[in-house]
Amino acid sequence: MKIGIVGLGVVGLATGVVLAEQGHKIIGVDIDQNKVKGLECKRSPIYEPGLQEMLERYFHNFTFTTDYGLLFNTDLVFITVSTPTIDGKIYLGYVFDVAKRLRDVLKRNDAIVVIKSTVVPGTARKVKEIVKNDVVSNPEFLREGSAILDTKNPDRIVIGSENKEAGDLVENLWKFTNAPVIRATWEEAEMIKYAANSFLAVKISFINEIANVCEKLKDCDVTVIAKAIGMDKRISPYFLNAGIGWGGSCFPKDTQAIVSFARDLGEELKIVEAAIKVNNERIKRVVSMLKGFIKEGNVCVLGVAFKPNTDDTRESVALKLIKTLKSEGYKVVAYDPKAITNEAKMVGLDECIRIADVVIIATEWDEFKGLEEKLRGKFVIDGRRILDPSKMEKEKFKAVGLGE
Ligand code: UGA
């Protein structure tokens, strides 16, 4: 098929390379000229495992452009633009802008418009009013850092459609993944995405609260609790890693968006609101651990990206931590294998540790595992539970969810 993808962020690019691998011709559209120019030279604008290689390998199936006009004879167009939260509410302007452009371009064409961007219920219906073409809601569940793997091996494919044939076509497109398919209405498909992200955010905040209690107990480690409860199939072991909180471009904005969307409908999402509140308190707890060690001095923050295997720092808890530490008067240096920031002086791993009075692990990069020996002599706070407490100096080590 000839497939348009509008919005070349992580979702658009991962969708693009995976469908290009399947032999489809992809026309990638973005308003960012620099991004398009880079992609035309086979340069991925973001770090995502496997993305650069896939881009190069299937480059012959790609056209990158800022010109919507090239979408005129496509069979299907994905909308993968961002849907930021502004003043606590979802901003759908980019999605509707794209819809208007598609209406003008697809005039003589019955291309199906597929919404992958995370949008509140009712959006597909509005996009349909604008474009007139068939619209399918096909929410994305990939995680940054494993975007390509997740796109190829999703747990399920959700297809929300009004027109059965349009839904069938999109279902067929993803058949190669062998994933179970949920056919739904537009509103159900849109709601599934928010329910999924909110539930995962709640799960993490839940274990983080359990971690708080563990810290007050003698000989109690939250990782043991998480392991044991995760063995219960009804709970499952995933997303039970206690830490300094959830960040990134999805959970913070999506939880806020659904809370305010529900409130506009006269419903309170009390549990999701509590999860947000718990998350907002994570940094305060790390700072108080730090104050238990030193009141001033040099802090090395290991990890700046919002999670490992990405250079994305959007809503990164590590960055928020750095800002808070600076406002508390600490001098901060940082190291990350891929991400950079202007918020702290970025140095090499060894130098970061050498300069520091206290080292805080803020992102669980593999590179930070096994650092116990190198950290000898330093105060250490493990904010992501990747160090082995038995190998650390007792008086100099604190970790999220680890009791005295
Ligand atoms: C999340 C969802 O996991 C995806 O399914 C969804 O498609 C995506 O949002 C989206 O809406 O586009 P992502 O934000 O890329 O994916 O990353 P996650 O792996 O979910 O991590 C989010 C945050 O939670 C990170 O800051 C991570 O460090 C934190 N986290 C995750 C924990 O603190 N503990 C855990 O056990 C898991």
Per-residue pLDDT of 308-346, as tens digits, reads 999 999 999 999 999 999 999 999 999 999 999 999 999
Instruction: Say if residue 208's pLDDT is above 90.
Output: yes
272-278 average pLDDT score: 98
Per annotation, catalytic residue among 41, 214, 220, 250:
250
What is the distance between the alpha carbons of residues 41 and 35, in angstroms, rounded to a whole number? Answer: 10
Q: Give me the pLDDT at residue 80, please.
A: 98
Strands (E), 117-184: 135-137, 157-161, 181-184
Q: Give me the pLDDT at residue 272, please.
A: 98
Q: Give me the pLDDT at residue 255, please.
A: 97
Instruction: Say if residue 16's pLDDT is above 80.
Output: yes
**Is 214 one of the catalytic residues?**
no
Residue 280 neighbours by CB under 8 Å, 6+ apart = 245
Task: Say if ligand 1 is within 6 A of residue 364 CB.
Answer: no
Instruction: Say if residue 113's pLDDT is above 80.
Output: yes
Q: Tell me how many degrees the CA angle 124-127-130 measures, rounded to the nearest 5.
A: 155
Q: Give me the pLDDT at residue 404, please.
A: 85
Instruction: Say if residue 215's pLDDT is above 80.
Output: yes
CA of 236 to the centre of ligand 1 (A): 16
Instruction: Say if residue 233's pLDDT is above 80.
Output: yes
Task: Say if ligand 1 is within 6 A of residue 319 CB.
Answer: no
Task: Say if ligand 1 is within 6 A of residue 59 CB.
Answer: no
* Cβ 171 vs Cβ 157: under 8 Å: yes
Task: Say if ligand 1 is within 6 A of residue 118 CB.
Answer: yes
Q: Give me the pLDDT at residue 382, please.
A: 98
- Of all protein residues, whose CA lies closest to atom 9 belonging to ligand 1? 250
Distance of CA 181 to the CA centre of its chain: 23
Which phi and psi angles does 359 have, rounded to 5°? -110, 130
pLDDT bin (cut points 50, 70, 90) of residue 204 is very high
Instruction: Say if residue 109's pLDDT is above 90.
Output: no
Per-residue pLDDT of 178-203, as tens digits, reads 999 999 999 999 999 999 999 999 99
Give the type of residue at 51. Answer: L
Q: Give me the pLDDT at residue 107, please.
A: 82
With a pLDDT cut of 90, the percent of the chain lying above it is 98
What is the distance between the alpha carbons of residues 62 and 97, in angstroms, rounded to a whole number? Answer: 23
pLDDT bin (cut points 50, 70, 90) of residue 299 is very high
Mean pLDDT taken over the chain = 97
pLDDT bin (cut points 50, 70, 90) of residue 55 is very high
Q: Give me the pLDDT at residue 27, please.
A: 98
Q: Give me the pLDDT at residue 95, please.
A: 98
In this predicted model, which residue has the larger pLDDT, 231 or 108? 231
Among 83, 144, 304, 316, the mutation site with the greatest number of ligand 1 atoms within 8 A of its Cβ is 144
Q: Give me the pLDDT at residue 108, please.
A: 72
Per-residue pLDDT of 126-154, as tens digits, reads 999 999 999 999 999 999 999 999 999 99
90 DSSP β-pair partners? 85
345 DSSP β-pair partners? 333
What is the distance between the alpha carbons of residues 8 and 355, in angstroms, rounded to a whole number? Answer: 39
Q: Give me the pLDDT at residue 46, please.
A: 95
Q: Give me the pLDDT at residue 369, please.
A: 96
Among 47, 51, 143, 202, the mutation site with the greatest number of ligand 1 atoms within 8 A of its Cβ is 143
Which DSSP helix (H) or strand (E) runs through 93?
helix 93-105
